[in-house]
Amino acid sequence: MIRQIIHIDQEKCNGCGLCATACHEGAIEMVNGKAKLVREHFCDGLGDCLPGCPTGAITFEQREAPAYDEAAVQRAKAQQQAPHHAGGCPGSRAVQFQASQAPEAPAAVPAGKPVSRLGQWPVQIKLAPVQAPFFQGAKLLIAADCAAYAYASFHEDFMRGKVTLIGCPKLDGVDYAEKLTDILRLNDIQSVTIVRMEVPCCGGLQSAAQRALQASGKFIPWQVVTLSRDGRILD
C-alpha cells in the first residue's frame, strides 16, 4: 500500500541515536553507528522521531510500505518488558557511565581489586555513534580488541581517563577510516592513542586511525603503542 512513512538520510545522520529513543514503536535502530528504519510495519508515520533529530535527517515520504501493524508493536513491547528477555541486542545504544557506576573510592570495591575504567558504551567502532556527549573534550583510545587480553594492566595504563573504541579490521572486514574521521571531525577530541598488536593485520587499524587524523583537518596529538603477543610494550 502507498502510505506516509519516514525516510532517514544516511548522509545527514550523525548517529546520535535520539530518533531511536523517540520512536515509541521500536521501528528505528542504530546500525553501524547510523539510524535506520528496520521495521517499516512498526512505523505509524506520525513522526515522533522528527523533532529530536538535530541534523534534519528525517523526513516524511509517500511510498509503497507495509501497513502499520499496531498488534505487532504491542507484542514486541510486551516481549521487551518480560523478564529474562533474550532477544533484541541493546549493544548499539550509547551510554555514558557516571562516577557512581565506575567506582574510584577504595571503599567501593574490595581492597586490591581492580575496577573497570570503561567510561562509555558501546566500545566497538562499528557500533559507536559518530557524535555523542562522551566524545566532547575526550582523550580517545583506539585499540585492537586483542590488546586488553595480551596486556594485563590495560584498564589502568591505557583506558583510564579515555573514551575507548576497539576493533579488528581483519574480523570486521571494513575500513574504519571514514567513521573515525567523522568522530574526530564532529567532536572535540583532545588526543588519540592507538594501541595495536605486533601482528600484521593490526596495521589496518593503525592505518585507518592515521588516515582519519589526517582527513579530519584538525591538529590532534597522537601516539601509537605496539604490544607483543605475550603482552610486552614494544615501542
From-to residues of CATH 3.40.50 in the chain: 95-227
Q: How far is the CA of 172 from the CAs of 53, 58, 135, 147, 167, in angstroms? A: 29, 28, 23, 16, 8
pLDDT tens, position by position, 116-142 = 999 998 999 988 888 888 998 999 999
pLDDT tens, position by position, 72-114 = 888 887 776 554 444 445 556 777 776 434 444 444 555 668 8
135 HSE (CA, 13 A, CB side): 23
pLDDT tens, position by position, 25-66 = 889 988 878 889 999 999 999 888 888 788 999 999 999 999
For residues 168-179, average pLDDT: 88
Whether domain 95-227 has CATH 3.40.50: yes
Q: Full-prediction pTM beyond 0.85?
A: no
Which fold would CATH assign to domain 2-81?
A: Alpha-Beta Plaits (3.30.70)
Q: Are 96 and 118 in contact (CB under 8 A)?
A: no
From-to residues of CATH 3.30.70.20 in the chain: 2-81
Mean pLDDT score of the chain, rounded to an integer?
A: 86
